[in-house]
């Protein structure tokens, strides 16, 4: 199966650390990429690969993988990090090359 | 500077046809995969499919196979997504996006268009 499962909603207190997870069989073979989407905006790549962060993305965003689970961590969450976060990965079959997770709505309290 | 600029919002009736565009600039159009992503109102992101403009190789997500057609015009560095018969359920924002690495179908997509809102209503 190429399905990716994320928590629907996660909250974090301002300045604290939060982890968002993404589970799926294909994550055993491929790294995830993570996207932040704010209302009315296109998605923004915030982390990808084993340990890569695009230029301009704050260092408080980091990623990891263990078994079939990928995680995006935000260390010292800021108000501007409130958004929906999506994981994305290659699929395990030729029929479904790419898959998104269902998205996690992050609330910064 | 890499740019992906999409065509404007469309309002159509069920049964009509439509072709939306993604005009690119600032890089070698033929060397990077372009993807199309659907976002229905209030919902998450879904892959429609991907196209490699260098040879027009395409891959459609199973839910979209036979429902839409992707194409690319190398002469004007523009990618297209088209419908021959629209349905109300096609109402959504459609984004085009480009891979981070030339020639590689990785999972990282670091350039996105602004999105095209397609509304299908009688």
pLDDT digits (tens, 9 = 90+) for B83-111: 999 999 999 999 999 999 998 887 799 99
Closest-CA residue of chain A to B116: A42
pLDDT confidence of residue A92: 79
% of chain B with per-residue pLDDT over 70:
100
Range A10-31 average pLDDT: 96
The Cα–Cα gap between A23 and B41 comes to: 25
Taking 80 as the threshold, does the pLDDT of residue A52 lie above it? yes
3-state helix, strand, coil in chain B (%, to 5): 5, 50, 45
Chain length of chain B: 122
pLDDT digits (tens, 9 = 90+) for B55-84: 999 999 999 999 999 999 999 999 999 999
The mean pLDDT value of chain A amounts to 95
Strands B10-12 and B116-120: parallel
% of chain A with per-residue pLDDT over 90:
91
pLDDT confidence of residue A1: 60
Q: How far is B122 from chain A (nearest CA, A)?
A: 25
Q: Which two tokens stand for residue A26?
A: 């294909």
**B112 in contact with A at a CB cutoff of 8 Å?**
yes
Are B50 and A97 in contact (CB < 8 Å)? yes
B53 close to B72: Cβ distance less than 8 angstroms: yes
Range A35-58 average pLDDT: 97
Helix (H, G, I), strand (E, B), or coil: what is residue B85? Answer: coil
Strand partners, B20: B81
Residue located via tokens 């935000």: A74
The Cα–Cα gap between A2 and B109 comes to: 18
Interchain CB contacts (distance < 8 Å): A and B: 67
**B64 in contact with A at a CB cutoff of 8 Å?**
no
Range A50-66 average pLDDT: 96
Are A99 and B47 in contact (CB < 8 Å)? yes
Are B107 and A37 in contact (CB < 8 Å)? no
Taking 70 as the threshold, does the pLDDT of residue A39 lie above it? yes
Look at the alpha carbons of B89, B93, B94, B99 in this order and tell me if their dihedral is positive or negative: negative
pLDDT confidence of residue A101: 97
């Amino acid at each position: 199966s190429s399905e990716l499962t994320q928590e629907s909603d996660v909250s974090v207190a301002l300045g604290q650390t939060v982890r968002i997870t993404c589970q799926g069989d294909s994550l055993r073979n491929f790294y995830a990429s993570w996207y932040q989407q704010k209302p009315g905006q296109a998605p923004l790549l915030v982390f990808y690969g084993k340990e890569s962060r695009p230029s301009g993305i704050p260092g408080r965003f980091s990623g990891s993988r263990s078994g079939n689970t990928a995680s995006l961590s935000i260390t010292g969450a800021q108000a501007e990090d409130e958004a929906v976060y999506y994981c994305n990965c290659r699929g395990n079959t030729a029929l479904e090359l790419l898959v998104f997770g269902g998205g996690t709505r992050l609330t910064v309290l | 500077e890499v740019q992906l600029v999409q065509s404007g919002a469309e309002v159509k009736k069920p049964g009509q046809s439509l072709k939306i565009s993604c005009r690119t600039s600032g890089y070698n159009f033929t060397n990077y995969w372009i993807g199309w992503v659907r976002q229905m109102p209030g919902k998450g992101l879904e892959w429609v499919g991907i196209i490699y403009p260098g040879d027009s190789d395409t891959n459609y997500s199973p839910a979209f196979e036979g429902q839409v057609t992707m194409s690319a015009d190398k002469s004007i560095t523009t990618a297209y997504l088209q419908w021959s018969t629209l349905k109300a359920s096609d109402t959504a924002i459609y984004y085009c996006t480009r891979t981070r690495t030339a020639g590689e179908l990785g999972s990282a997509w670091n350039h996105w268009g602004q999105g095209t809102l397609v509304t299908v209503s009688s």
